[in-house]
Amino acid sequence: MRNFLLFSAFLLIGLTSIQAQRYGHLNLGNLISVMPEAVAANDSLKMIQEAMVAKGEEMAAQFKQDYIKFATDVKAGNLTPKVQQEQEESLSKRQQELGSLEQIIGQAIEQKRNELLAPILERAQDAIKAVAQENGYQFVFDTSIFGAIMFAEESEDLMPLVKAKLGIKE
């Protein structure tokens, strides 16, 4: 009988602790988008991208100009076969470089984005963790991930608390 009472007591304590769990949610993407440092990072990325694209366009324009000059010289017969072959090879190499430039720019922008956003994401995650711990939440779900939550019962939106923790005004 005593064992049954102990078992019942543990079961009752276990059930009440399960019911006492608190769940919260927020949209991490929306949170990051309102963080001032994320706005500054996006502005910085935009400027870097514009500069890289402008340089690429300048290189493409120069290539086009050089190609037109080359084609004109070939038609006029102004080039020796050796010089013509050297210029063809040079233009071909430059054309390949231009072709891979878009990929290089994309990779550079992605690397810079990751570099700039890593500390911002870390700061947001630290604030979420602090709010969760301060307010007794056992789980916090990110609703920015499509389909991450199929069903949630009585979950609280922590966005206002996390914004306050980060010093972001509504």
The residue ranges of every structural domain in the chain are 20-166
- pLDDT of 24 reads 86
Fold adopted by 20-166 = Protein Binding, DinI Protein; Chain A (3.30.910)
The whole-angstrom separation of Cα 169 and Cα 8 is 49
- pLDDT of 154 reads 64
Q: Which of 143, 117, 113, 132 is nearest to 28 (CA)?
A: 143
Q: According to DSSP H, which parts of 20-158 are helical?
A: 28-34, 36-76, 81-134
Q: Which of 106, 102, 125 is nearest to 114 (CA)?
A: 106
Separation of CA 14 from chain center: 41
pLDDT mean by block of 10 residues, the chain; 170 residues = 47 51 87 92 93 92 94 91 93 91 90 95 92 88 72 72 86
Tell me the two tokens of residue 85.
């072959």
Please name the residue that has the structure tokens 């063809």: 88
